[in-house]
Amino acid sequence: MKILLIGMGNPILTDDAIGVRLAKDFKARLDRTLGIPPVSVVEECSVGGMNLLDVVSDWDRVIVLDSIKTPKGIPGTWHYFTAASLRETMHLSNVHDTNFATALELGRRLGHKIPSDKGIHIFAVEIQDNITFAEAMTPILETAYPLISEEIFKEVLRLIQ
């Protein structure tokens, strides 16, 4: 099985860097972990829309590490879901504003080898600030990072074994 782990985000936009940072850390940890299948890692991915097809095509399973900012979200908590949860956000009638779910479905319809929605796993960390230019995350996320990293890494290992 071909497995891809992607760190989404921008490393110079405060908390938006969480996915990139997790991917870099996980790559190092995966390289040292014995007895697991090989995992390819894209440490830093900041593309969206249809450009994501170039990244996720030809993989059997994709694991995405990203940030999320919801109205009542608590920074430092994280969510897990599959791409199946994104189905309701799909808008095939307007490809000028292509979100992740729409890009995946369009890619499938165009003949790209895209994993099933259940084969795309998303870990999204609630963040506080994704608009300030800085290479450090906010103090609340820096403090929570070791626990976030450990918890999500355990789940990633579960998914790849």
Task: Provide the token pair at 98.
Answer: 């292509």
Which domains does the chain possess? 3-160 (3.40.50.1450)
pLDDT at 118: 94
Average pLDDT of the residues in 136-160: 97
Query: What confidence tier does 89 reach under pLDDT thresholds 50, 70, 90?
Result: very low
Query: What confidence tier does 92 reach under pLDDT thresholds 50, 70, 90?
Result: very low
Average pLDDT of the residues in 22-39: 96
Name every residue whose Cβ is closer than 8 Å to that of residue 99 and which is 6 or more positions away in sequence: 48, 49, 86, 89, 90, 91
